Structure 1
Amino acid sequence: MQFPIKTVLYAAVASLVLIGAAQAQRTDIRIGVVLEPPALDPTAGAAEAIDIVVYQNIFEGLTRVDETGAVQPGLATDWTISEDGLTYTFNLAEGVTFHDGTPFSAEDVVFTFERILADDSVNAQKALYAPIESVTAIDAATVEIVLERPSGMFLFDIGRGDAVIVSPATADTNATDPVGTGPFRFVQWNRGSRIQLARYEEYWGELPALTEASYHFIGDTAAGINALLAEEVDGFNNFASESIALFEADPRFKVLVGTTEGEIIMATNNRQPPFDDLRVRQALAHAIDRQALIDGVSNGFGVPIGSHFAPHHPYYVDLTGTYPHDLEAARALLAEAGFPDGFSTAMKLPPVNYARLGGQILASQFAEIGVTVELINVEWAQWLTDVLTNKDYDLSIVAHVEPFDIGIYADPDYYFGYDDADFQAIISELSTTTDDARRRELAVAAQTRLAEQAVNGFLYQLPQIGVWNAKVEGQWVDSPIEGVVLRDIRWVD
């Protein structure tokens, strides 16, 4: 049978179109995340889940932190620092607009920092920016920030999610309708399901390869496994370690194991009995078997810590031997403190695996020294209210993911209730010292003081275990700061 020449040509063209469509590179990404953020303004909330979605995607700061933890230019293309370390002059990128089309200028920087420092500010890291004495717009593209005292972490701190630049026109609604200057704009938030972003085509910098991104809230591990296997999501930046072997054996996926800034601690209410007694805190420290905890919770992934500091940091010192696992020493300390038969307490646990499973393991370990622990599971909103805000708790388990945040222990009003003049003096000097050698000495002294005082149960460093479609590249392996940064993520053959 013969076919007309036009029919043959049309068929050939159609086949080529179908082949091209089949081979077209994807430009969307669907990311699974365990926690839904309570809001989307990182300058007005403490939850890591906020930065996971918005940091360096929707919002940008004057500087930004890269995957290695180094400070890079952001909305400020460059800067100069005065000889006394007090005056920073930033040159701003030109042609920048917010996602609503409003031009970005130095006045937005002034507004942002005045808002952070205001008396009614709810910024979770407001104390980091306390050294700022003034912020002045020299002209539309130049900002001068003057500090009251030198700050060795200033350029890093203004690159955190807490200091992203916001517009006066939209600051009050960023919690639900975020408007930034980043490479992605907010599209939609389906509560309980997902958040959708789209590439901002008028972005002032290099456009990312992705045109769409969505964050899907999947808190249940089994549901997350099913979503990955069914290819309903393209990856999780941090996934339950107990299921990793399944994905390591499947060529459709790749597993990326890195580090985070997440110190997992057994938070302890130092302001109330019996935990206001150092001997009780020391007893609990002796009762903790960190390696058993790591093996039981995360299949051996994680580095034991003896103080509130990341093991990969150059200032880190290993203090895990301060109170080694020693049940006899623990019982003796409890008896000395007036609890020869132990006591009963409660532990409030947020809805994450390391806390819920970790609580069960710690309760079992404490039972060996006569301490009975009631485990109380709470949702994040209740944890933030009860524990973080109202300090209504005995014990808890949580990961503190903010980088270089040891200074939180210098605030006696923080939820730990730790009030120690010696530690406060160390942090006071550390915060104003720029000499690296002296900063290291002070950081070691701070770590040592916390360890000796057994302020909290210092457990282990939270690993980042990413499970991704094998064709996705450009995602961060390590997490030196909170966020799933989209700018370099792309699909490859």
Structure 2
Amino acid sequence: MNKTGKAIGLALALSTAFAGMAMAQPTEIRIGVALEPPTLDPTAGAAEAIDIVVYQNVFEGLTRIDETGSVQPGLAESWTISEDGLTYTFKLHDGVTFHDGSAFDAEDVKFTFDRILAADTTNAHPEFYKPITAVTVIDPLTVEFTLDQKIGRFLFDLGRGDAVIVAPESADNNATQPIGTGPFAFTQWDKGSRVILDAYGPYWGEPAHLTKATYVFISDPATMTNALLASDIDGTNNFATDALAVFEGNPQFKVLVGTTEGETILSTNNKKPPFDNLKVRQAMAHALDRQAIIEGTTNGYGTPIGAPFAPHNPYYVDLTATYPHDVAAAKALLAEAGLPDGFSATLKLPPVAYARTSGQIIASQFAEVGIKLELINVEWAQWLEDVYTNKDFDLTIVSHVEPFDIGNYANPDYYFGYDNPEFQALIDKLNGTTDEAARKELAIEAQTILAKDAVNGYLFELAQTGVWNAKLEGMWQNSPIEGLVLRDIHWVE
């Protein structure tokens, strides 16, 4: 071959190589999220922002919840349940390691649940696991749970972010240096900016398609819009509904509209006058125009609710007609409560658009019946301290995103302070029932009690409105549990 032929051959080879490089599928993703997590340990905080980053990505439980809300095997490959429903025996996967290289075994499971149940626990929801009386290591790959009562949703509870398995060697540092068993390992956290996860090479299960995921914190919807349009990020799992029109019909993007477990409520301090008066709470319920709130806050994407249950849940019952919007009825009830001229109250609003917009609309609606609201904007840290922990509030607006969290209403020490022994007994019965038909009947009864007692102002169910690069697949359309699971996300041509 002459020099010209060699040159042409080399040029063709280089052209083919560069074309192959250009066509190679990307393996990294940058995801915009509105809220930065306060910690990266899901066993030590209630904020959804924690699970968005680490649930099923960095940390795993004995079971896991899939996109349909069903329970799947996690670190436990199988389990058996005794006839009386009080003993669960789990067979663990072999060859699992934590991201620091240490081996996972039954002792880690025991440590995790002993920690959850300890008197000084920092777990957000230890009540889910209080019926556990013993966690016994049978052998390194077998662990037994003994309960003092049947829990119909026990396997589901084991799949929550609250129950991910941690190791005694690293548990104390998980807030800032999380070490789990998941398909992604924590790499770095640039406070105020981003968290980076890298695929964990020795992962015990099917490896992820992605090699890296970067969570970028962008609280402002306009900034999020610009970042998407400029390809600075590849998607976001829950985008501001008032800006979705920018992306609908744009072939560069796909908009995924699904359901969440986010019951948005006007949380009420039931122990504080005048909210300890049922007639006052009924009056507030009549004063609420849910459809106006939904249109003004979510551009019509929310679903009205009359109780704290997601409409997609098989146990859901529509109770929105319990207290229909009726200004005259609200005024009459206030008069019966001895407040014919209404009253004044404060409404503390966390830094999310749905809360602050809903707050303005509700303040206007309440003014029609004589209830004058002072709107107080607070940051999340202040909200968690003042409202959630210290119960220093009159009213607030927040979305409760934990699945099947109706049991919170059976806890009189929970932040909205509802104390009803009849309801508490009903939830105990529900928790001990495993028959699905019976559970549904009890769940409907529980929802009905809460609706009639107007414990909180039940507003709407948040929609999940994701905006993603059109070449991405594998994102969850629905969100039956807190999290943004990376497991199946991948790029396509």
- Bin of the TM-score, shorter chain as denominator length: over 0.9
How far the C-alpha of 1:18 sits from its partner, in A, is 1.5
Q: What SS is found at the alignment partner of 1:465?
A: strand
Amino acid at match of 2:135: V
1:372 maps to what in 2? 372
1:121 maps to what in 2? 121
How far the C-alpha of 1:3 sits from its partner, in A, is 5.8
Q: What SS is found at the alignment partner of 2:52?
A: helix
2:231 maps to what in 1? 231
1:330 maps to what in 2? 330
* Whole-angstrom CA distance in 2 between matches of 1:342 and 1:112: 50
* Whole-angstrom CA distance in 2 between matches of 1:45 and 1:232: 30
* Whole-angstrom CA distance in 2 between matches of 1:200 and 1:96: 12
Q: Does 1:261 align with 2:261?
A: yes
How far the C-alpha of 1:404 sits from its partner, in A, is 0.4
Q: Does 1:396 align with 2:410?
A: no
Q: Among all aligned residue pairs of Structure 1 and Structure 2, give the percentage whose two residues are the same amino acid.
A: 67
Amino acid at match of 2:312: H
* Whole-angstrom CA distance in 1 between matches of 2:212 and 2:435: 44
For residues 24-83 of structure 1, the C-alpha deviation after alignment (integer angstroms, 9 at most, x for no partner) is: 100001111000000000011000000000000000000000000000000000011111
1:88 maps to what in 2? 88
Amino acid at match of 2:323: Y
* Whole-angstrom CA distance in 2 between matches of 1:79 and 1:275: 46
2:359 maps to what in 1? 359
For residues 80-121 of structure 1, the C-alpha deviation after alignment (integer angstroms, 9 at most, x for no partner) is: 111111111100001000000000000000000000000000
2:77 maps to what in 1? 77
Amino acid at match of 1:390: N
2:42 maps to what in 1? 42
Q: Does 1:315 align with 2:315?
A: yes
1:102 maps to what in 2? 102
**Unaligned 5+ runs, structure 1:** none
Amino acid at match of 1:426: L
Equivalent positions of 1:21-32 (< 5 A) are: 21-32=21-32
* Whole-angstrom CA distance in 2 between matches of 1:341 and 1:248: 47
* Whole-angstrom CA distance in 1 between matches of 2:476 and 2:436: 27
Q: Does 1:445 align with 2:441?
A: no
Name the count of aligned residue pairs: 492
How far the C-alpha of 1:7 sits from its partner, in A, is 2.1
1:251 maps to what in 2? 251
Q: Does 1:13 align with 2:13?
A: yes
* Whole-angstrom CA distance in 2 between matches of 1:444 and 1:122: 32
1:54 maps to what in 2? 54
For residues 142-168 of structure 1, the C-alpha deviation after alignment (integer angstroms, 9 at most, x for no partner) is: 001111111100000000000000000
2:143 maps to what in 1? 143
Q: What SS is found at the alignment partner of 1:43?
A: helix
For residues 115-135 of structure 1, the C-alpha deviation after alignment (integer angstroms, 9 at most, x for no partner) is: 000000011110000110110
Amino acid at match of 1:469: N
Amino acid at match of 2:36: E
How far the C-alpha of 1:22 sits from its partner, in A, is 1.0
Equivalent positions of 1:276-295 (< 5 A) are: 276-295=276-295
Amino acid at match of 2:458: F
How far the C-alpha of 1:439 sits from its partner, in A, is 1.2
* Whole-angstrom CA distance in 2 between matches of 1:37 and 1:201: 25
Q: What SS is found at the alignment partner of 1:204?
A: coil
2:63 maps to what in 1? 63
* Whole-angstrom CA distance in 1 between matches of 2:216 and 2:410: 37
How far the C-alpha of 1:213 sits from its partner, in A, is 0.2
How far the C-alpha of 1:325 sits from its partner, in A, is 0.2
How far the C-alpha of 1:9 sits from its partner, in A, is 2.0
* Whole-angstrom CA distance in 1 between matches of 2:86 and 2:410: 23
Q: Does 1:206 align with 2:206?
A: yes
2:409 maps to what in 1? 409
Q: What SS is found at the alignment partner of 1:122?
A: coil
1:436 maps to what in 2? 436
How far the C-alpha of 1:249 sits from its partner, in A, is 2.3
Amino acid at match of 1:258: G
Amino acid at match of 2:140: A
Amino acid at match of 1:476: W
Amino acid at match of 1:385: E
For residues 451-489 of structure 1, the C-alpha deviation after alignment (integer angstroms, 9 at most, x for no partner) is: 000000000111100100000000000000000000100
CA RMSD of aligned residues (A): 0.8
* Whole-angstrom CA distance in 2 between matches of 1:412 and 1:230: 49
* Whole-angstrom CA distance in 1 between matches of 2:437 and 2:258: 27
Q: What SS is found at the alignment partner of 2:286?
A: helix
* Whole-angstrom CA distance in 2 between matches of 1:149 and 1:270: 29
* Whole-angstrom CA distance in 2 between matches of 1:315 and 1:481: 16
Amino acid at match of 1:453: D
* Whole-angstrom CA distance in 2 between matches of 1:66 and 1:168: 28
2:222 maps to what in 1? 222
How far the C-alpha of 1:4 sits from its partner, in A, is 2.8
How far the C-alpha of 1:5 sits from its partner, in A, is 2.7
Q: What SS is found at the alignment partner of 2:279?
A: helix
* Whole-angstrom CA distance in 1 between matches of 2:273 and 2:21: 67
* Whole-angstrom CA distance in 1 between matches of 2:81 and 2:435: 15
1:476 maps to what in 2? 476
For residues 289-313 of structure 1, the C-alpha deviation after alignment (integer angstroms, 9 at most, x for no partner) is: 0011101011100110001111111
* Whole-angstrom CA distance in 2 between matches of 1:43 and 1:25: 35
TM-score normalised by L of structure 2: 0.99
* Whole-angstrom CA distance in 2 between matches of 1:10 and 1:199: 36
Q: Does 1:304 align with 2:304?
A: yes
For residues 232-271 of structure 1, the C-alpha deviation after alignment (integer angstroms, 9 at most, x for no partner) is: 1011100111111110121100000100111000000011
* Whole-angstrom CA distance in 2 between matches of 1:66 and 1:437: 22
* Whole-angstrom CA distance in 1 between matches of 2:223 and 2:473: 24
Amino acid at match of 1:145: F
How far the C-alpha of 1:218 sits from its partner, in A, is 0.5
For residues 344-392 of structure 1, the C-alpha deviation after alignment (integer angstroms, 9 at most, x for no partner) is: 1110001111101110111111111111111111111110000000000
* Whole-angstrom CA distance in 2 between matches of 1:251 and 1:356: 32
**Unaligned 5+ runs, structure 2:** none
Q: What SS is found at the alignment partner of 1:188?
A: strand
